[in-house]
Structure 1
Amino acid sequence: MRFGNQPSAAFAGRALHAYLDFVQRTTRFKPAIPGARPWERSREPFIALTWHGQQMLSLAALDGAAQVAVLTSLHFDGTVVASVVERAGFRVIRGSGTQSRPKIMAKRAIPAFFEMREALRDGTSLLLTADVPKVARIAGKGAVQLARSTGRPIYLFAAVTSARLDLDNWDRASIALPFGRGCILWSEPLFVRRSADEREMGLIALDISSQLDELHATAHRLLERR
Protein backbone atom coordinates (compact mmCIF):
# COMPACT_ATOMS: atom_id res chain seq x y z
CA MET A 1 0.00 0.00 0.00
CA ARG A 2 1.55 3.31 -1.11
CA PHE A 3 1.04 6.31 1.18
CA GLY A 4 3.92 8.38 -0.22
CA ASN A 5 7.10 9.54 1.50
CA GLN A 6 5.84 10.14 5.02
CA PRO A 7 8.47 12.63 6.37
CA SER A 8 8.40 14.73 3.20
CA ALA A 9 4.60 14.63 3.09
CA ALA A 10 4.34 15.62 6.75
CA PHE A 11 6.63 18.63 6.16
CA ALA A 12 4.67 19.66 3.04
CA GLY A 13 1.43 19.16 4.97
CA ARG A 14 2.55 21.52 7.75
CA ALA A 15 3.51 24.15 5.20
CA LEU A 16 0.26 23.79 3.24
CA HIS A 17 -1.86 23.89 6.39
CA ALA A 18 -0.11 27.09 7.48
CA TYR A 19 -0.66 28.61 4.04
CA LEU A 20 -4.35 27.67 3.93
CA ASP A 21 -4.84 29.13 7.40
CA PHE A 22 -3.16 32.35 6.25
CA VAL A 23 -5.39 32.53 3.17
CA GLN A 24 -8.50 31.92 5.24
CA ARG A 25 -7.56 34.58 7.80
CA THR A 26 -6.75 37.22 5.16
CA THR A 27 -9.74 36.57 2.90
CA ARG A 28 -12.85 38.69 3.41
CA PHE A 29 -15.63 36.13 3.05
CA LYS A 30 -19.14 37.27 2.25
CA PRO A 31 -21.48 36.52 5.18
CA ALA A 32 -22.85 33.00 5.03
CA ILE A 33 -26.54 32.61 4.34
CA PRO A 34 -28.09 31.81 7.76
CA GLY A 35 -29.05 28.16 8.07
CA ALA A 36 -27.55 27.20 4.70
CA ARG A 37 -24.70 25.06 5.97
CA PRO A 38 -25.54 21.35 6.39
CA TRP A 39 -24.75 21.16 10.11
CA GLU A 40 -27.03 24.16 10.71
CA ARG A 41 -29.93 22.42 8.99
CA SER A 42 -29.69 19.05 10.69
CA ARG A 43 -27.53 17.05 13.05
CA GLU A 44 -27.42 14.10 10.69
CA PRO A 45 -24.16 13.36 8.86
CA PHE A 46 -23.89 14.39 5.23
CA ILE A 47 -21.78 13.99 2.10
CA ALA A 48 -20.10 17.23 0.97
CA LEU A 49 -19.04 17.48 -2.66
CA THR A 50 -17.08 19.97 -4.72
CA TRP A 51 -14.94 19.83 -7.86
CA HIS A 52 -11.43 18.40 -7.48
CA GLY A 53 -9.82 21.54 -8.84
CA GLN A 54 -11.85 23.79 -6.51
CA GLN A 55 -11.21 22.01 -3.21
CA MET A 56 -8.49 24.29 -1.84
CA LEU A 57 -10.89 26.24 0.39
CA SER A 58 -12.73 23.15 1.64
CA LEU A 59 -11.52 23.66 5.21
CA ALA A 60 -12.95 27.17 5.15
CA ALA A 61 -16.24 25.79 3.82
CA LEU A 62 -16.37 23.22 6.64
CA ASP A 63 -15.41 25.67 9.38
CA GLY A 64 -17.69 24.86 12.30
CA ALA A 65 -18.57 21.33 11.21
CA ALA A 66 -17.87 18.46 13.59
CA GLN A 67 -16.93 14.84 12.92
CA VAL A 68 -15.83 15.05 9.31
CA ALA A 69 -13.78 12.50 7.38
CA VAL A 70 -11.97 13.36 4.15
CA LEU A 71 -11.14 10.88 1.39
CA THR A 72 -7.55 11.27 0.14
CA SER A 73 -5.65 9.30 -2.49
CA LEU A 74 -2.70 6.98 -1.86
CA HIS A 75 -0.31 9.16 -3.86
CA PHE A 76 2.17 11.64 -2.39
CA ASP A 77 -0.20 14.58 -2.89
CA GLY A 78 -2.92 12.60 -1.09
CA THR A 79 -0.55 12.02 1.81
CA VAL A 80 0.14 15.76 1.96
CA VAL A 81 -3.61 16.47 1.99
CA ALA A 82 -4.05 13.83 4.71
CA SER A 83 -1.53 15.67 6.86
CA VAL A 84 -3.44 18.93 6.35
CA VAL A 85 -6.76 17.28 7.15
CA GLU A 86 -5.45 15.75 10.37
CA ARG A 87 -4.01 19.10 11.46
CA ALA A 88 -7.45 20.61 10.89
CA GLY A 89 -8.92 18.05 13.30
CA PHE A 90 -10.68 15.88 10.74
CA ARG A 91 -10.41 12.15 10.08
CA VAL A 92 -8.68 10.74 7.01
CA ILE A 93 -9.87 7.84 4.84
CA ARG A 94 -7.30 6.64 2.29
CA GLY A 95 -8.34 5.43 -1.16
CA SER A 96 -9.74 6.71 -4.44
CA GLY A 97 -12.17 5.79 -7.17
CA THR A 98 -11.15 4.41 -10.53
CA GLN A 99 -12.71 3.56 -13.87
CA SER A 100 -10.28 0.67 -14.37
CA ARG A 101 -11.17 -2.68 -12.80
CA PRO A 102 -7.53 -3.82 -12.55
CA LYS A 103 -6.74 -0.73 -10.45
CA ILE A 104 -9.58 -1.17 -7.93
CA MET A 105 -7.44 -3.09 -5.44
CA ALA A 106 -4.35 -0.90 -5.95
CA LYS A 107 -6.34 2.26 -5.28
CA ARG A 108 -8.12 0.75 -2.25
CA ALA A 109 -11.45 1.70 -3.78
CA ILE A 110 -13.61 -1.01 -2.19
CA PRO A 111 -12.24 -0.84 1.38
CA ALA A 112 -12.48 2.95 1.24
CA PHE A 113 -16.14 2.74 0.15
CA PHE A 114 -16.98 0.44 3.07
CA GLU A 115 -15.07 2.68 5.49
CA MET A 116 -16.94 5.74 4.25
CA ARG A 117 -20.26 3.93 4.50
CA GLU A 118 -19.57 2.95 8.10
CA ALA A 119 -18.43 6.48 8.93
CA LEU A 120 -21.74 7.91 7.67
CA ARG A 121 -23.70 5.30 9.58
CA ASP A 122 -21.74 6.14 12.75
CA GLY A 123 -22.45 9.87 12.51
CA THR A 124 -19.37 11.15 10.66
CA SER A 125 -19.83 13.39 7.62
CA LEU A 126 -17.71 13.01 4.50
CA LEU A 127 -15.88 15.40 2.18
CA LEU A 128 -15.29 14.06 -1.34
CA THR A 129 -14.45 15.46 -4.74
CA ALA A 130 -17.13 14.86 -7.33
CA ASP A 131 -15.14 14.34 -10.53
CA VAL A 132 -14.76 11.05 -12.35
CA PRO A 133 -11.05 10.16 -11.79
CA LYS A 134 -8.90 12.25 -14.15
CA VAL A 135 -11.99 13.67 -15.92
CA ALA A 136 -12.63 17.25 -14.84
CA ARG A 137 -16.07 18.62 -14.08
CA ILE A 138 -17.91 15.34 -14.77
CA ALA A 139 -19.43 13.91 -11.58
CA GLY A 140 -19.05 10.20 -10.91
CA LYS A 141 -21.45 7.87 -9.12
CA GLY A 142 -19.39 7.17 -5.99
CA ALA A 143 -21.10 9.72 -3.76
CA VAL A 144 -24.47 8.79 -5.25
CA GLN A 145 -23.88 5.14 -4.34
CA LEU A 146 -22.91 6.15 -0.79
CA ALA A 147 -26.05 8.26 -0.45
CA ARG A 148 -28.21 5.41 -1.74
CA SER A 149 -26.59 2.92 0.62
CA THR A 150 -26.79 5.06 3.76
CA GLY A 151 -29.75 7.38 3.19
CA ARG A 152 -27.54 10.39 3.99
CA PRO A 153 -27.97 13.61 1.98
CA ILE A 154 -25.50 15.05 -0.49
CA TYR A 155 -24.69 18.76 -0.20
CA LEU A 156 -22.75 20.50 -2.95
CA PHE A 157 -20.60 23.52 -2.22
CA ALA A 158 -18.53 26.16 -3.97
CA ALA A 159 -15.72 27.92 -2.08
CA VAL A 160 -14.03 30.55 -4.23
CA THR A 161 -11.91 33.65 -3.81
CA SER A 162 -11.27 36.66 -6.02
CA ALA A 163 -7.50 36.35 -5.45
CA ARG A 164 -6.46 33.15 -7.21
CA LEU A 165 -4.45 31.52 -9.96
CA ASP A 166 -6.45 29.43 -12.42
CA LEU A 167 -4.31 26.62 -13.82
CA ASP A 168 -4.53 24.89 -17.19
CA ASN A 169 -4.15 21.36 -15.82
CA TRP A 170 -6.42 18.30 -15.94
CA ASP A 171 -8.77 19.41 -13.15
CA ARG A 172 -8.66 23.14 -14.00
CA ALA A 173 -7.46 23.86 -10.48
CA SER A 174 -7.68 27.24 -8.78
CA ILE A 175 -4.94 28.20 -6.32
CA ALA A 176 -6.36 30.50 -3.67
CA LEU A 177 -4.22 33.53 -2.81
CA PRO A 178 -4.38 35.72 0.33
CA PHE A 179 -5.93 39.18 0.67
CA GLY A 180 -8.90 38.56 -1.61
CA ARG A 181 -12.67 38.37 -1.24
CA GLY A 182 -14.25 34.98 -0.69
CA CYS A 183 -17.64 33.37 -1.12
CA ILE A 184 -18.92 29.98 0.06
CA LEU A 185 -22.24 28.64 -1.19
CA TRP A 186 -24.05 25.42 -0.24
CA SER A 187 -26.78 23.67 -2.20
CA GLU A 188 -30.05 22.24 -0.99
CA PRO A 189 -29.79 18.60 0.21
CA LEU A 190 -29.97 15.92 -2.44
CA PHE A 191 -31.32 12.53 -1.39
CA VAL A 192 -30.97 9.27 -3.32
CA ARG A 193 -33.66 6.60 -3.11
CA ARG A 194 -32.49 3.20 -1.87
CA SER A 195 -34.30 1.68 -4.86
CA ALA A 196 -32.50 3.92 -7.39
CA ASP A 197 -31.20 1.91 -10.35
CA GLU A 198 -28.11 2.61 -12.50
CA ARG A 199 -30.04 4.87 -14.86
CA GLU A 200 -31.42 6.99 -12.03
CA MET A 201 -28.01 7.26 -10.38
CA GLY A 202 -26.52 8.34 -13.70
CA LEU A 203 -29.13 11.08 -14.00
CA ILE A 204 -28.38 12.21 -10.44
CA ALA A 205 -24.66 12.39 -11.28
CA LEU A 206 -25.50 14.58 -14.30
CA ASP A 207 -27.58 16.83 -12.05
CA ILE A 208 -24.68 17.08 -9.59
CA SER A 209 -22.38 18.22 -12.42
CA SER A 210 -24.87 20.87 -13.51
CA GLN A 211 -25.52 22.12 -9.98
CA LEU A 212 -21.83 22.31 -9.10
CA ASP A 213 -21.10 24.35 -12.21
CA GLU A 214 -23.99 26.70 -11.41
CA LEU A 215 -22.93 27.06 -7.75
CA HIS A 216 -19.42 28.07 -8.78
CA ALA A 217 -20.70 30.46 -11.43
CA THR A 218 -23.04 32.07 -8.90
CA ALA A 219 -20.26 32.38 -6.31
CA HIS A 220 -18.01 34.12 -8.84
CA ARG A 221 -20.84 36.48 -9.85
CA LEU A 222 -21.37 37.40 -6.22
CA LEU A 223 -17.68 38.20 -5.84
CA GLU A 224 -17.91 40.62 -8.76
CA ARG A 225 -20.46 42.67 -6.83
CA ARG A 226 -18.57 44.95 -4.47
Structure 2
Amino acid sequence: MSNFRRRLEKSPALARVIATLIGWYLRLCIATSKWDVHGVDALEEELADGPVLCALWHGRLLMIAPHWPRRAGSLSCLHDTAPIGRAAGALQAYFGLQPIEMSARRSNVSASRVVMKRAKEGVSIGITADGPTGPGFAVKDAPLEWARIMQRPIYGYAFATKRHRILKTWDSMIVPLPFTRGAIVFDRLDVAVPRKATDDQIEAGRNAMTTELNRVTALADQMSGVT
Protein backbone atom coordinates (compact mmCIF):
# COMPACT_ATOMS: atom_id res chain seq x y z
CA MET A 1 0.00 0.00 0.00
CA SER A 2 2.81 2.41 0.83
CA ASN A 3 4.44 1.75 -2.57
CA PHE A 4 1.13 2.47 -4.30
CA ARG A 5 0.74 5.71 -2.36
CA ARG A 6 4.23 6.82 -3.41
CA ARG A 7 3.51 5.99 -7.04
CA LEU A 8 0.24 7.92 -6.93
CA GLU A 9 1.91 10.91 -5.30
CA LYS A 10 4.55 11.05 -8.03
CA SER A 11 2.44 10.09 -11.04
CA PRO A 12 -0.20 12.45 -12.43
CA ALA A 13 -0.97 9.80 -15.08
CA LEU A 14 -1.86 7.22 -12.43
CA ALA A 15 -4.05 9.78 -10.67
CA ARG A 16 -5.88 10.38 -13.95
CA VAL A 17 -6.47 6.65 -14.44
CA ILE A 18 -7.92 6.31 -10.94
CA ALA A 19 -10.04 9.44 -11.43
CA THR A 20 -11.39 8.08 -14.72
CA LEU A 21 -12.45 4.81 -13.07
CA ILE A 22 -14.13 6.71 -10.24
CA GLY A 23 -15.73 9.05 -12.75
CA TRP A 24 -17.21 6.11 -14.69
CA TYR A 25 -18.65 4.75 -11.46
CA LEU A 26 -20.17 8.08 -10.47
CA ARG A 27 -21.72 8.44 -13.91
CA LEU A 28 -23.28 5.01 -13.43
CA CYS A 29 -24.71 6.12 -10.08
CA ILE A 30 -26.11 9.29 -11.64
CA ALA A 31 -27.61 7.50 -14.65
CA THR A 32 -29.27 4.69 -12.69
CA SER A 33 -30.70 6.72 -9.80
CA LYS A 34 -33.61 9.12 -9.40
CA TRP A 35 -32.37 12.52 -8.24
CA ASP A 36 -34.32 15.29 -6.55
CA VAL A 37 -32.65 18.67 -6.97
CA HIS A 38 -32.88 21.76 -4.77
CA GLY A 39 -31.43 25.19 -5.44
CA VAL A 40 -29.59 24.74 -8.74
CA ASP A 41 -31.76 27.30 -10.58
CA ALA A 42 -31.11 29.91 -7.88
CA LEU A 43 -27.38 29.14 -8.00
CA GLU A 44 -27.28 29.56 -11.77
CA GLU A 45 -28.99 32.94 -11.48
CA GLU A 46 -26.39 33.96 -8.90
CA LEU A 47 -23.55 32.80 -11.14
CA ALA A 48 -24.81 35.08 -13.90
CA ASP A 49 -23.68 37.98 -11.68
CA GLY A 50 -20.28 36.49 -10.78
CA PRO A 51 -18.55 33.68 -8.91
CA VAL A 52 -19.59 32.31 -5.53
CA LEU A 53 -17.86 30.55 -2.67
CA CYS A 54 -19.19 27.00 -2.36
CA ALA A 55 -18.63 25.23 0.96
CA LEU A 56 -19.33 21.62 1.89
CA TRP A 57 -18.38 18.97 4.43
CA HIS A 58 -15.50 16.75 3.32
CA GLY A 59 -17.61 13.62 3.68
CA ARG A 60 -19.92 14.84 0.87
CA LEU A 61 -17.06 15.74 -1.48
CA LEU A 62 -17.28 12.83 -3.90
CA MET A 63 -20.14 14.15 -6.05
CA ILE A 64 -19.51 17.91 -6.15
CA ALA A 65 -17.69 17.72 -9.51
CA PRO A 66 -20.46 15.97 -11.51
CA HIS A 67 -23.21 17.93 -9.75
CA TRP A 68 -21.76 21.42 -10.27
CA PRO A 69 -23.75 23.31 -13.00
CA ARG A 70 -20.82 23.88 -15.37
CA ARG A 71 -23.07 25.49 -18.00
CA ALA A 72 -23.45 28.46 -15.63
CA GLY A 73 -19.79 28.84 -14.67
CA SER A 74 -16.70 26.87 -13.72
CA LEU A 75 -15.52 25.86 -10.27
CA SER A 76 -12.05 25.54 -8.77
CA CYS A 77 -11.34 23.45 -5.68
CA LEU A 78 -7.93 23.37 -4.07
CA HIS A 79 -6.32 19.99 -3.48
CA ASP A 80 -3.00 19.05 -1.97
CA THR A 81 -0.24 16.86 -3.41
CA ALA A 82 -0.96 13.92 -1.12
CA PRO A 83 -2.12 10.78 -2.99
CA ILE A 84 -5.82 11.21 -2.17
CA GLY A 85 -5.63 14.93 -2.89
CA ARG A 86 -4.01 14.33 -6.27
CA ALA A 87 -6.71 11.81 -7.23
CA ALA A 88 -9.40 14.28 -6.10
CA GLY A 89 -7.91 16.96 -8.32
CA ALA A 90 -7.82 14.59 -11.28
CA LEU A 91 -11.47 13.73 -10.67
CA GLN A 92 -12.39 17.41 -10.81
CA ALA A 93 -10.54 17.76 -14.10
CA TYR A 94 -12.29 14.62 -15.45
CA PHE A 95 -15.63 16.36 -14.96
CA GLY A 96 -14.44 19.57 -16.62
CA LEU A 97 -13.63 21.71 -13.59
CA GLN A 98 -10.44 23.67 -12.89
CA PRO A 99 -8.63 22.15 -9.87
CA ILE A 100 -5.83 24.03 -8.15
CA GLU A 101 -2.93 21.98 -6.81
CA MET A 102 -1.54 23.48 -3.61
CA SER A 103 1.39 22.04 -1.71
CA ALA A 104 0.94 21.84 2.05
CA ARG A 105 4.27 23.69 2.32
CA ARG A 106 2.76 26.83 0.77
CA SER A 107 1.31 29.43 3.08
CA ASN A 108 -2.34 30.40 3.50
CA VAL A 109 -1.42 33.78 2.02
CA SER A 110 -0.16 32.06 -1.13
CA ALA A 111 -3.33 29.99 -1.35
CA SER A 112 -5.48 33.10 -0.93
CA ARG A 113 -3.69 34.80 -3.83
CA VAL A 114 -4.43 31.84 -6.10
CA VAL A 115 -8.06 31.85 -4.99
CA MET A 116 -8.48 35.56 -5.62
CA LYS A 117 -6.89 35.28 -9.07
CA ARG A 118 -9.39 32.60 -10.06
CA ALA A 119 -12.31 34.53 -8.56
CA LYS A 120 -11.33 37.65 -10.52
CA GLU A 121 -11.41 35.48 -13.65
CA GLY A 122 -15.03 34.63 -12.81
CA VAL A 123 -14.38 31.13 -11.50
CA SER A 124 -16.25 30.07 -8.38
CA ILE A 125 -14.27 28.58 -5.51
CA GLY A 126 -15.15 25.32 -3.78
CA ILE A 127 -13.81 24.37 -0.38
CA THR A 128 -14.35 21.60 2.13
CA ALA A 129 -15.02 23.55 5.30
CA ASP A 130 -13.50 20.84 7.52
CA GLY A 131 -10.81 19.57 5.16
CA PRO A 132 -8.45 18.29 4.10
CA THR A 133 -7.50 16.55 7.36
CA GLY A 134 -10.32 17.31 9.81
CA PRO A 135 -11.55 17.06 12.43
CA GLY A 136 -14.82 16.38 10.72
CA PHE A 137 -17.67 18.90 10.80
CA ALA A 138 -15.47 21.62 12.32
CA VAL A 139 -15.15 24.74 10.14
CA LYS A 140 -11.52 25.70 9.62
CA ASP A 141 -10.09 29.17 9.06
CA ALA A 142 -9.67 28.97 5.26
CA PRO A 143 -13.35 29.21 4.20
CA LEU A 144 -13.86 32.12 6.57
CA GLU A 145 -10.77 33.90 5.22
CA TRP A 146 -11.87 33.35 1.64
CA ALA A 147 -15.37 34.58 2.45
CA ARG A 148 -13.79 37.67 3.99
CA ILE A 149 -11.64 38.53 0.99
CA MET A 150 -14.04 37.47 -1.78
CA GLN A 151 -17.16 39.25 -0.45
CA ARG A 152 -19.32 37.09 -2.69
CA PRO A 153 -22.39 34.97 -1.92
CA ILE A 154 -21.67 31.73 -0.05
CA TYR A 155 -23.46 28.56 -1.11
CA GLY A 156 -23.55 25.23 0.64
CA TYR A 157 -23.59 21.90 -1.17
CA ALA A 158 -24.52 18.40 -0.11
CA PHE A 159 -25.63 15.21 -1.78
CA ALA A 160 -27.24 12.14 -0.27
CA THR A 161 -28.40 8.76 -1.52
CA LYS A 162 -30.71 6.33 0.21
CA ARG A 163 -28.36 3.45 -0.63
CA HIS A 164 -24.71 4.20 0.09
CA ARG A 165 -21.61 3.14 1.94
CA ILE A 166 -19.97 5.13 4.73
CA LEU A 167 -16.19 4.76 4.71
CA LYS A 168 -14.26 4.34 7.95
CA THR A 169 -12.39 7.59 7.44
CA TRP A 170 -12.06 10.71 9.58
CA ASP A 171 -14.79 12.40 7.52
CA SER A 172 -17.15 9.38 7.32
CA MET A 173 -17.15 9.81 3.54
CA ILE A 174 -20.37 8.90 1.74
CA VAL A 175 -20.01 6.68 -1.35
CA PRO A 176 -23.23 6.41 -3.38
CA LEU A 177 -24.52 3.12 -4.74
CA PRO A 178 -26.31 2.71 -8.09
CA PHE A 179 -30.05 2.20 -8.54
CA THR A 180 -31.24 4.31 -5.65
CA ARG A 181 -32.87 7.62 -4.80
CA GLY A 182 -30.65 10.65 -4.35
CA ALA A 183 -30.73 14.35 -3.60
CA ILE A 184 -28.61 17.28 -4.77
CA VAL A 185 -28.76 20.45 -2.69
CA PHE A 186 -27.24 23.85 -3.36
CA ASP A 187 -28.47 26.56 -1.02
CA ARG A 188 -27.29 30.04 -0.15
CA LEU A 189 -25.87 30.18 3.36
CA ASP A 190 -26.86 32.83 5.86
CA VAL A 191 -23.20 33.61 6.61
CA ALA A 192 -21.54 37.01 6.50
CA VAL A 193 -17.86 37.72 7.19
CA PRO A 194 -17.02 41.45 6.89
CA ARG A 195 -13.89 42.38 4.97
CA LYS A 196 -12.39 43.87 8.13
CA ALA A 197 -13.79 41.23 10.47
CA THR A 198 -12.92 41.20 14.15
CA ASP A 199 -12.05 37.98 15.95
CA ASP A 200 -15.57 37.87 17.35
CA GLN A 201 -17.06 38.27 13.86
CA ILE A 202 -14.84 35.48 12.54
CA GLU A 203 -16.08 33.17 15.29
CA ALA A 204 -19.67 34.20 14.60
CA GLY A 205 -19.09 33.32 10.94
CA ARG A 206 -17.63 29.96 11.93
CA ASN A 207 -20.68 29.14 14.07
CA ALA A 208 -23.07 30.29 11.35
CA MET A 209 -21.30 28.27 8.64
CA THR A 210 -21.36 25.14 10.82
CA THR A 211 -25.09 25.54 11.44
CA GLU A 212 -25.87 26.27 7.81
CA LEU A 213 -23.82 23.39 6.37
CA ASN A 214 -25.50 21.02 8.82
CA ARG A 215 -28.86 22.38 7.62
CA VAL A 216 -27.98 21.83 3.95
CA THR A 217 -26.71 18.31 4.67
CA ALA A 218 -29.80 17.42 6.69
CA LEU A 219 -32.00 18.66 3.84
CA ALA A 220 -30.21 16.39 1.36
CA ASP A 221 -30.60 13.43 3.72
CA GLN A 222 -34.30 14.16 4.14
CA MET A 223 -34.92 14.56 0.41
CA SER A 224 -33.19 11.27 -0.41
CA GLY A 225 -35.11 9.31 2.20
CA VAL A 226 -32.11 8.70 4.46
CA THR A 227 -33.97 10.34 7.37
Please give the range of the TM-score, normalised by the shorter of the 2 chains: 0.7 to 0.9
Alignment match, 2:186: 186
| Alpha-carbon distance change, 172 to 34 in structure 1, aligned in 2, over 3 angstroms | closer
Alignment match, 2:100: 93
Q: How does 1:1-16 map to 2 (within 5 A)?
A: 4-16=10-22
| Amino acid paired to 1:83 | A
Deviation at 1:13, TM superposition (A): 1.4
Alignment match, 2:163: 163
Deviation at 1:108, TM superposition (A): 5.4
- What are the superposed Cα offsets for residues 143-186 of structure 1, whole Å, 9 maximum, x if unpaired? 12112112112111111111210123211111111111111122
C-alpha separation between the residues in 2 aligned to 1:27 and 1:4? Answer: 36
2:53 is equivalent to residue 52 of structure 1? no
* Equivalent residues of 2:76, 2:98 under 8 A apart: yes
C-alpha separation between the residues in 1 aligned to 2:200 and 2:39? Answer: 34
Q: How does 1:27-176 map to 2 (within 5 A)?
A: 27-33=33-39, 35-36=41-42, 38-43=43-48, 44-64=50-70, 65-95=72-102, 106=105, 109-131=108-130, 133-176=133-176
- What are the superposed Cα offsets for residues 69-108 of structure 1, whole Å, 9 maximum, x if unpaired? 1211211111111111112111111127xxxxxxx6x255
* Equivalent residues of 1:163, 1:176 under 8 A apart: yes
* Equivalent residues of 2:39, 2:187 under 8 A apart: no
> Aligned with 1:113: secondary structure?
helix
- Normalising by structure 1, we get a TM-score of 0.86
C-alpha separation between the residues in 1 aligned to 2:179 and 2:130? Answer: 29
Question: Which runs of no fewer than 5 residues in structure 2 stay unpaired?
Answer: 1-7
More helix by share: 2
| Amino acid paired to 1:156 | G
Alignment match, 1:201: 202
Deviation at 1:48, TM superposition (A): 0.6
* Equivalent residues of 1:4, 1:79 under 8 A apart: no
C-alpha separation between the residues in 2 aligned to 1:151 and 1:93? Answer: 20
- Normalising by structure 2, we get a TM-score of 0.85
Q: Percent identity?
A: 21
Mean Cα deviation higher: 56-65 or 149-158: 56-65
C-alpha separation between the residues in 1 aligned to 2:65 and 2:109? Answer: 26
C-alpha separation between the residues in 1 aligned to 2:74 and 2:98? Answer: 8
* Equivalent residues of 1:95, 1:109 under 8 A apart: no
C-alpha separation between the residues in 2 aligned to 1:75 and 1:144? Answer: 24
Deviation at 1:223, TM superposition (A): 2.0
C-alpha separation between the residues in 1 aligned to 2:90 and 2:195? Answer: 35
| Amino acid paired to 2:78 | L
C-alpha separation between the residues in 2 aligned to 1:201 and 1:140? Answer: 11
C-alpha separation between the residues in 2 aligned to 1:34 and 1:187? Answer: 8
Aligned residues: 216
| Alpha-carbon distance change, 214 to 33 in structure 1, aligned in 2, over 3 angstroms | closer
